[in-house]
Amino acid sequence: MTIHVLNGPNLGRLGAREPLIYGATTHDELVALCEETGKALGREVVVRQTDDESEMIGWLHEAADAGVPVVLNAAAWTHYSIAVRDAASQLTAPLVELHISNVHRREQFRHHSVLSDVATAVMAGFGVEGYPLAIRWLAERT
């Protein structure tokens, strides 16, 4: 079975963007980490990143139609995109909402998620190591 890891806006700049908050791992290194985790679990892991909200919605629809579990780091869309939330609500397999930083220790506007009520689980503050944790969790349940 396949697991999709979907990353939203600005996450393609990992390693360069605010390393004190998001760490030094690049997005390419994150992709390799996720793929290696999947391989060790006998799962294919597809990692995608976009700054385009409509592309993200299309990927969520694709996962919903295929019954694929998703790790979703919607980044800024987490806090305001009803369109991404509505697409995520259509998923038929488990959804893990993931945040690299602990959003509850950051600016007030980051404390609210429009996705959490449709997510199966929420992870925050584990850095990029949250991705393999989420992938393992999904692999055990699907």
101 is in an annotated binding site: yes
Q: Is 22 a catalytic residue?
A: yes
Q: Is 13 annotated as a binding residue?
A: no
Is 7 labelled a binding residue?
A: no
Euclidean distance between CA atoms 95 and 57, whole angstroms? 14
Phi and psi of 95, rounded to 5°?
-125, 125
Residue 9: exposure state from Cβ atoms within 10 A (0-12, 13-18, ≥19): middle
Tokens representing 60 are: 């969520």
81 is in an annotated binding site: no
Tell me if residue 99 is catalytic.
Answer: yes
Catalytic residue among 4, 27, 99, 131: 99
Catalytic residue among 4, 22, 27, 131: 22
Please report the DSSP string for 12-72 in residue order: GGTTTS-HHHH-S--HHHHHHHHHHHHHHTT-EEEEEE-S-HHHHHHHHHHHHHHT--EEE
In this structure, are residues 86 and 65 in contact, taking their beta carbons and an 8 Å threshold? no
Ligand-binding site membership of 100 (annotated): yes
The answer to whether 73 is annotated as binding is yes
Binding-site members are: 73, 79, 86, 100-101, 110
Binding-site members for substrate are: 73, 79, 86, 100-101, 110
Name the residues annotated as catalytic.
22, 99
